Structure 1
């Protein structure tokens, strides 16, 4: 690993600056004002329009193209941030376990949702807490139930995750490009049509947890 790292060039200063700006921009401006007259949404859109923020997946990567700036050595600035995150990992994980326990204890899953398997002692550490919405027979497809559910959550100012929305993600990637044949993994496709994930991130407050639980228990889609 060290031998490979030593051969890599450091990233460009512009790339490092954009990564650092992305963190500050979202933490200090976008997230705190996301529900305040949609100011955060507007700031997010402006940041993308002006290319001030980064994308989790670039357009080139969606076409199976390696970004021009990769591979590169991890910059000192980003390494310091990563190290500080690792120092807080135990605290983050303890919080995630507690959030998952609240969801498992208070969300009524029997008729509406199928919960995921957990550690028998309830110590599973979920980056996201996944649930499968049971198919509404009135909907033409399972995805209709899921879309309706997420639309209602959005109206309630709850932004639940829809990361697992297909066997290959993002869905904008042509299946043929990654040699995936539709229907070859029916269980994965069926799960993707119904799975949502609830947040467990470290800054999730007790009030937000209660709001999510209340919505999940009363949502009819």
Structure 2
């Protein structure tokens, strides 16, 4: 069962905003597989109706019971996820340490364009990420940065920061994206960042 703790509890334990984000990230990672399983169980509704129709009362009733349980758990998980998103948005406005970059990237990729506060915080923090920390980003986090850079989304500042961090991480998969942006972007800042990324990644193959 998913149990998201209120960040006010952590604040009372003198945990920083960065530490609270890390804990929220861990909770979200642990609940995602459960949420997918519960959502997948919704297909038991039509199966239960079919079994009832062909006279399999026991199995039909069991399938409907399991489907109803999955539906209720999914609703609860979604409510908890909305609460978590709100907590992350509040924390994102106050974070100052680069330890928050990983969790913020995960929440940004989970929320998409709705992660306004996460993107704003990342615009502040990504330029401060050193080479060692850039190499510690997960493949999923780097993929999100590559996609954001390729789409020049959500902002010019975010795209520039993403290109430079990926170059610091020696992410050779960024090379084709940087080559394209270096000649096609309408933003001079993005073109300049793409050229810098290519220089730093020079000699490496994607």
TM-score where L is the length of structure 1: 0.26
Q: Which is strand-richer, 1 or 2?
A: 1
Q: Which is helix-richer, 1 or 2?
A: 2
TM-score where L is the length of structure 2: 0.27
Pair member with larger Rg:
2
